[in-house]
């Protein structure tokens, strides 16, 4: 679909490559309470169980990989990687989470049921999310890597206000989005590398019509914009969807950065990574050096996956990923003493068709 006029942007001289910083990925330290071998004794096959099930899921629909990866991002950025986004309640109902896939939530609970059947209730939903995100990357063509485990599940319903304060907007510029990252001790390189997760998945008309109407965003390549206008013909178009990565939408590779250089990115927050002088050289590096991107993506994912984790005696291991094991009152800004829900404990099963999130 790319026009010949923009293809020369993909050609770089060896001098340019030599002039770029190395951006070498540094292996992040492991948070106290997590371990590479946490379930060695209690559930040694947990990762195989998750992987085997996801292989079956992705054979039928590889697009589910992007949904599982997004759940991990959205979980970790709000209260840390504690499975809070899985809970039916305010966090799922926040606008940034409304496009999270229902199927992805179902897949996570299916994985939880298989793991708990094999090992008992010893593996947290938060850990299952982390493993599923990792396998979604690898099984869609990305790198194979290890994730430290030992997270516990959070017990608090997160308010809509807290969710909005912590999830970076797709319409923000680099400075805006970077502010959300630095608040989590993630840096500029983490921002560019983790944004590369958009090499799989789709965006919807509702997120891009402001770049098409009433006047086309001048940064967007013209032929690309014309194609988007066919999909989203009106300023109030909402239904259509389009790949986030134009060139290889279902393969985890570095083509997302090639799209940025050709000005063919859906989201303003993505495209601005190539406009901003701080992030532009990193985008250029990853566009021509896939290994550099994949190495840094792994390092940044492991780093992000340890944000504010609950370990040891903190949190719980949920019997059902979408509900808590025991009643917990809302935070102070969530109302009076009203209990959101009465939940079961000790592994009792709950009807699993009640997850209200959609993405």
Residue 61, annotated as binding a ligand: no
Question: Contact, 193 vs 296, CB < 8 A?
Answer: yes
Beta strands in 240-349 (DSSP E): 241-243
What tokens appear for 125 in the block? Answer: 């939903």
Residue 159, annotated as binding a ligand: no
Active site residue 156: no
User: Which candidate in 74, 116, 156, 204 is catalytic?
Assistant: 74
Residue 199, annotated as binding a ligand: yes
**Cβ neighbourhood burial of 121 (10 Å; 0-12, 13-18, 19+):** middle
Residue 80, annotated as binding a ligand: yes
What tokens appear for 114 in the block? Answer: 């298989």
State the alpha helices, DSSP H only, in 140-253. Answer: 160-166, 174-182, 188-195, 205-208, 222-231
Beta bridge mates, 242? 203
Dihedral sign computed on CA atoms, order 96, 306, 273, 285: negative
| Backbone phi and psi for residue 177, each to the nearest 5 degrees, phi listed first | -65, -40
DSSP assignment string, 268-280: HHHHHHHHSTTTH
Residue 253, annotated as binding a ligand: yes
Report which of 28, 237, 274 is spatially closest to residue 145, judged by C-alpha positions. 28
| Residue whose pair of structure tokens reads 């990925």 in the numeric block | 25
Residue 226, annotated as binding a ligand: no
Residue 198, annotated as binding a ligand: yes
Residue 168, annotated as binding a ligand: yes
Residue 84, annotated as binding a ligand: yes
Dihedral sign computed on CA atoms, order 351, 60, 200, 238: negative
Residues tagged in the binding site annotation for substrate: 168
**Would you please indicate which residues are annotated as catalytic (active-site) residues?**
74
Residues tagged in the binding site annotation for heme b: 198
Residues tagged in the binding site annotation for Ca(2+): 75, 78, 80, 82, 84, 91, 199, 245, 253
Residues tagged in the binding site annotation: 75, 78, 80, 82, 84, 91, 168, 198-199, 245, 253
């Amino acid at each position: 679909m790319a026009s010949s006029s923009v293809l020369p942007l993909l050609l770089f001289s060896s001098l340019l490559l030599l002039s770029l910083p190395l951006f070498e990925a540094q292996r992040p330290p492991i948070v106290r309470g997590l371990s590479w071998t946490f379930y060695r004794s209690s559930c040694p096959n947990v990762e195989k169980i998750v992987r085997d099930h996801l292989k079956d899921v992705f054979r039928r629909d590889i697009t589910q990989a992007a949904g599982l990866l997004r759940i991990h991002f959205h979980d970790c950025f709000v209260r840390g990687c504690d499975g809070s986004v899985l809970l039916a309640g305010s966090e799922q109902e926040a606008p940034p989470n409304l496009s999270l896939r229902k199927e992805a939530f179902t897949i996570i609970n299916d994985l939880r049921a298989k793991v708990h059947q094999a090992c008992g209730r010893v593996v947290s939903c938060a850990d299952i999310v982390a493993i599923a995100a990792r396998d979604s990357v690898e099984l869609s063509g990305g790198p194979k890597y290890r994730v430290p485990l030992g997270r516990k599940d959070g017990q608090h319903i997160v308010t809509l206000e807290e969710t909005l304060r912590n999830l970076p907007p797709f319409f923000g510029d680099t400075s805006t989005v970077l502010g959300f990252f630095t608040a989590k001790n993630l840096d500029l390189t983490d921002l560019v590398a983790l944004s590369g997760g958009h090499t799989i998945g789709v965006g919807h008309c509702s997120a891009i019509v402001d770049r098409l109407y009433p006047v086309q965003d001048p940064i967007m390549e013209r032929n690309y914009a014309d194609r988007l206008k066919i999909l989203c013909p009106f300023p109030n178009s909402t239904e259509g969807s389009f790949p986030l990565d134009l060139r290889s939408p279902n393969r985890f590779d570095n083509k997302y950065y090639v799209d940025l250089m050709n000005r063919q990115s859906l989201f303003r927050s993505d495209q601005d990574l190539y406009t901003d002088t701080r992030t532009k050289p990193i985008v250029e590096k990853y566009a021509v050096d896939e290994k550099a991107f994949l190495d840094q993506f792994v390092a940044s994912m492991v780093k992000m996956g340890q944000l504010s984790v609950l370990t040891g005696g903190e949190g719980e291991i949920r019997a059902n990923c979408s509900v808590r094991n025991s009643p917990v009152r809302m935070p102070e800004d969530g109302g009076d003493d009203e209990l959101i829900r009465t939940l079961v404990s000790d592994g009792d099963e709950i009807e699993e068709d009640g997850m209200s999130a959609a993405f």
